[in-house]
Structure 1
Amino acid sequence: MSRVTPDQPRRAAGPTAGARPRARARPAARVPAPRPGEPSRNRAPLPVAAGVAALWAAVTSWLPVTVVLGLAQLSEDAGSPTGALRAGLAGWLLGHGVPLQTAAGPLGLAPLALSALVVWRLTRAGVHVSRAVGARGGGSPRQALTVAVAVGIAYALLGALGALTASAGGLRVSPVTAALTFAAFAAPAALVGALRTTGVWALLARSCPPPVRDGLRAGLVAALLLFGASAGAAGLSVATGGGDAADMIGAYRTGVAGQAGITLVSLAYAPNATAWSASYLLGPGFAVGTDTAVRTSEVSVGALPAVPLLAGLPRGPVDGLGAGLLAVPVLAAMAAGWLLARRLLRAAAEDRAEVGWRALLVPAALAGPVAGALLGLVAAASGGPLGGGRLAGIGPPPWPVFGVATLVIGVGAMLGAAATRSLTRPAPPARPPAPPRAAPDPR
């Protein structure tokens, strides 16, 4: 046996008997580069992606309506799956604001809870389509608009199909009106999702002037604060009239499941009641039929339908401690101005700078028309006919709500911002950097 020294390298051992020879390494397969203008294989075609996303948004918003209205129709001798499907389709169309022509007159009072669900699902549709076509993070406004238009067209076709199907059940629904209404719902909502997914939203936010950006944010905050206070006031009013509401629900004779469905239908109209309460607190009030008025200074209503949500209507003009409700819009506006000033002052304190009056009051004044526009749009969407005759006009007047909200919130936000700046200790000015010390002489 030979010894192996360090100066003699060991030779590679040859193949032993029965051992398989090592296979040669195969060259890596070359993937041909895509030609210019050729779509990538992992991207879905835009019509397919838009159609699937629109269909999924329609199904996820139609199914809850069908379940709720199916429960509302249940009783010992009435209710059927076919009737529940037709009622769900009609309610789904109504949630988009499509007017329904019935034997009792036009029905156009849309449940805003369902409308909010539809908008959310369509926003997610814009997100999914943007990802499917490979536009995520691209920063292209053209791609975002293309996605929004594709989703709008696909959803409009579904709306026309739903109108044709609902018309076969005794209702009269215009397919053209349904298609246009569905497109008006889908395109802006999908555009919001596409702008966020493609990154265009961030680019628009960075290019927007700071006073405008701060004013938009303050107006949105003021509107949300007023909506929250209005929801609390509406809920308290319904709670005080809970006995009447329970009697109305029990009068339907539909059993436990049917009464649960009627309660859920009333909850679907809770955002409408919140919008009416906001108009009531602002001053213009609202109507529950022709020649009726519900305001802080006047309550004039006639015979009302047996709707549990109407049990919370005020009995008369506001007096006593109830007059404090009139200060709610001003307080909401001042809170929005306080939050605006706190944020600007905090950012200036980090930079050892001072916030000028113009940089503070301009966004606060801009919050007025922003919040007024939001409140006016919600007021317009919360009303509509509930049949013919005296119930043809229900809801608050949009333009008076816009005007009063613009004035009240604009002035309140400016007062809140100015008071916050006056009561906040200014940040100390930045100290100039000390001059560098001279190096000592080594000698």
Structure 2
Amino acid sequence: MAGVTQTTARPAPLTLLRTRWRDRSPGLGAGLLGGAVAAVLGLASCAALVTLLWISSPYPDSGPEGTLHVAASLWVLAHGAELVRADTLSGTPAPVGVTPLLLVLLPVWLLHRAARDATDPGDGVGVAVGSGPGAGAGTGFAGEGRLPDAGPPPVSARFAWVGVVAGYLCVAGPVVLYATGGALRPSWWWAALCLPLVAMGAAGAGVWTAFGRPGGPVGRALRVLPRNLRELLVEPDARLGASTRAAGAGAAVLVGGGALLVGVSLVWHGAAAQEAFLRLTEGWSGRFAVLLLCLVLVPNAAVWAAVYALGPGFALGAGHVVHPLASAPAPLLPPFPLLAAVPDAGPGTPLHWAAGGVPLVAGTVVGWFTARAATGAPVGAAVGGGAGGDGAGGVWSWRRTAGATVVAAVLCAVLVALLAAFAGGPLGSDALARFGPVWWQAGGATLAWIVVPAVPVALVVRAWRGRSAAVREPVVREPVVREPAVDGGEVADGGGRGWAPVPFVGRWWRRGGRAGAEGGEDAGEVDEDAVPFGLYDGDDEGGGGPYDLLPVDSPAEPPRG
């Protein structure tokens, strides 16, 4: 036996590598790979489209290298960066800054998907968010719900976000450098600004979605605002608040009405649009390219038409403004089908003034949405008439309703101003230096048009709906029952003013008094970072915050205490 040496069986290196790869937790490397793949997919889509048009063109004016340069520049333009055209007749480089809004959706969607997948442990369902008691099945997860021990733990949000952004920019840098060798080259300053902003914003939204849209980061940003205003913007259960929903509905009506105006004007000027479409090119491949360009510019045209209906209008070159009261003669522009929808030069007519009905409808929609929240009181119903319900049956007062309507109008104006800023830009120098609406004029006009009809509509609808809401049967609360907490203590009743579910942390929060564990090490403490959207205003020792953490393992049903 002395000559026998005991050995340990070792797995093959390849088998060990496969096991570690299968059971790995997604980390920084997965985020880097996901960001790089998202950039390559977006670039490949642009390259495939441009190459197809180049191959089918009967008169190609450049070789494969020039085609790839155009594809790279088009991909950079999709991020909002301005391009510079070098081969001009005057020899002076001319900027090209009108970004097709439909083209922006491709990189944003790819980045959002990559960041969301970077946090997924591998089962494609979602990631756990809560880590303490109650962070279990169902409400503790984004998606359909998965037990914490069903797979490897998810990567942290910070690692996923940094990995995706870094991987995306590692591909974007060489692409921008390569695109500078073409005739249509990106501006270094705009590329350095827009590419990181788009990558960080879209990746951040993807990680936030993957983790169930938690309110901690947003709450820390909103803590500078008063609590009542925070509840108008974001409800305690992590949903969009009344003012935010109303603002989104108003902006959607404005842009949708603008698209309707574009369609009606194109039908009205159908002969001119058809003539412009046929004059641009004769081959079917060229007409397909023109049609494709018109489609990606339809959202831009809808925003321009919405600002036209608001009154400020838009510019077709420096000094040529088109608005309902008058249309200045446009400069000499090449024929383009969408430009046929521009009203003829001259003073406005009652038919042009009728476009003002679009912002009136948008203001009415904002008032209606606000009044529904003021009388329905979804938050107050969830928490026993707490958040914002200061009248009978949870109906808001007229002051709170009017204030929520004004906040919605301000948010809607901000959205429209952002869309107007992205929808326009230069198409050259001198006379072509400005195309599209002016963002601050669009925002100011939106605020005025929305506030004027929205406040009266909200107050009238609130009074009408409040009459029926005041006579509803009040909610009967169950008696307070003490239940043991996780650490062996007891749950304080805290006044029993109602409960609000918080799905992304897998716990429940009580409106009103304290909710803590007696005798535990962390009794009576509140995790401020986990409180939804920073609604906690109290301290860690005593009650006073509107929502207090209840450490009870009951994610599916609310506690009875």
Query: Which TM class, normalised by the smaller chain length?
Result: 0.7 to 0.9
Matches within 5 A, 1:206-225: 209-212=230-233, 213-225=241-253
Which of 31, 47, 51 pairs up with 1:50?
Answer: 31
The whole-number CA distance in structure 1 between the counterparts of 2:33 and 2:21 is 19
Which of 71, 90, 93 pairs up with 1:88?
Answer: 71
Which residue of structure 2 aligns with residue 18 of structure 1?
none
Q: When the two structures are superposed, what TM-score results if normalisation uses the length of structure 1?
A: 0.80
The whole-number CA distance in structure 2 between the counterparts of 1:182 and 1:143 is 24
The whole-number CA distance in structure 2 between the counterparts of 1:358 and 1:146 is 45
Which of 183, 191, 202 pairs up with 1:178?
Answer: 191
Deviations 1:175-208 (A, max 9, x none): 5642432110010111111112113435678997
Matches within 5 A, 1:16-165: 41-46=23-28, 48-73=29-54, 74-78=56-60, 81-103=64-86, 104=88, 105-132=94-121, 136-138=127-129, 143-165=156-178
Question: 8 Å contact 2:77–2:186 — kept in the other structure?
Answer: no
The whole-number CA distance in structure 2 between the counterparts of 1:64 and 1:39 is 30
Which residue of structure 2 aligns with residue 276 of structure 1?
304
Question: 8 Å contact 1:108–1:386 — kept in the other structure?
Answer: yes
Q: When the two structures are superposed, what TM-score results if normalisation uses the length of structure 2?
A: 0.64
TM-fit CA distance, 1:232:
0.9
Which residue of structure 1 aligns with residue 431 of structure 2?
390
Amino acid at match of 2:80: G
Deviations 1:385-441 (A, max 9, x none): 1122311111111111111212222333222211212333333154798xxxxxxxx
SS in 2 for 1:258: helix
Q: Is 1:360 aligned to 2:401, yes or no?
A: yes
Question: 8 Å contact 2:35–2:163 — kept in the other structure?
Answer: no
TM-fit CA distance, 1:262:
1.4
TM-fit CA distance, 1:334:
0.9
The whole-number CA distance in structure 1 between the counterparts of 2:362 and 2:313 is 18
Amino acid at match of 1:165: Y
Closer/same/farther in 2, CA of residues 328 and 172 from structure 1, 3 Å limit: closer
SS in 2 for 1:159: helix
SS in 2 for 1:251: helix
TM-fit CA distance, 1:227:
0.9
TM-fit CA distance, 1:285:
0.8
Which of 207, 215, 226 pairs up with 1:194?
Answer: 207
Which residue of structure 2 aligns with residue 244 of structure 1?
272
Amino acid at match of 2:244: L
Q: Which moved more, 1:397-406 or 1:78-87?
A: 78-87
Question: What percent of counterpart residues are identical?
Answer: 30
Which of 354, 357, 361 pairs up with 1:331?
Answer: 361
For structure 1, which runs of at least 5 residues remain unmatched after alignment?
Answer: 1-37, 434-443
Which of 289, 295, 314 pairs up with 1:261?
Answer: 289
The number of residue pairs the alignment matches comes to 394
Deviations 1:185-239 (A, max 9, x none): 0101111111121134356789974323211121111111111111111122123
Deviations 1:251-288 (A, max 9, x none): 23352122112111111111111111111111111111
Which residue of structure 2 aligns with residue 426 of structure 1?
468
Question: 8 Å contact 1:127–1:197 — kept in the other structure?
Answer: yes
Question: 8 Å contact 1:75–1:254 — kept in the other structure?
Answer: no
Higher percent of residues as helix: 1
Amino acid at match of 2:26: A
For structure 2, which runs of at least 5 residues remain unmatched after alignment?
Answer: 1-19, 89-93, 132-154, 234-240, 386-392, 477-561
Q: Which moved more, 1:312-321 or 1:269-278?
A: 312-321
What root-mean-square deviation, in Å, do the aligned CA atoms of Structure 1 and Structure 2 show? 3.0
Closer/same/farther in 2, CA of residues 322 and 224 from structure 1, 3 Å limit: same
Question: 8 Å contact 1:160–1:179 — kept in the other structure?
Answer: no
Q: Is 1:380 aligned to 2:421, yes or no?
A: yes
Q: Which moved more, 1:395-404 or 1:424-433?
A: 424-433
Question: 8 Å contact 1:145–1:191 — kept in the other structure?
Answer: no
The whole-number CA distance in structure 1 between the counterparts of 2:178 and 2:475 is 75
Question: Which one has the largest radius of gyration?
Answer: 1
Question: 8 Å contact 1:119–1:189 — kept in the other structure?
Answer: yes
The whole-number CA distance in structure 1 between the counterparts of 2:263 and 2:207 is 36
The whole-number CA distance in structure 2 between the counterparts of 1:111 and 1:158 is 22
Which residue of structure 1 aligns with residue 320 of structure 2?
292
Question: 8 Å contact 1:272–1:382 — kept in the other structure?
Answer: yes
The whole-number CA distance in structure 2 between the counterparts of 1:414 and 1:143 is 44
Which residue of structure 1 aligns with residue 179 of structure 2?
166
Which residue of structure 2 aligns with residue 313 of structure 1?
342
SS in 2 for 1:60: helix
Q: Which moved more, 1:260-269 or 1:308-317?
A: 308-317
Which residue of structure 1 aligns with residue 137 of structure 2?
none
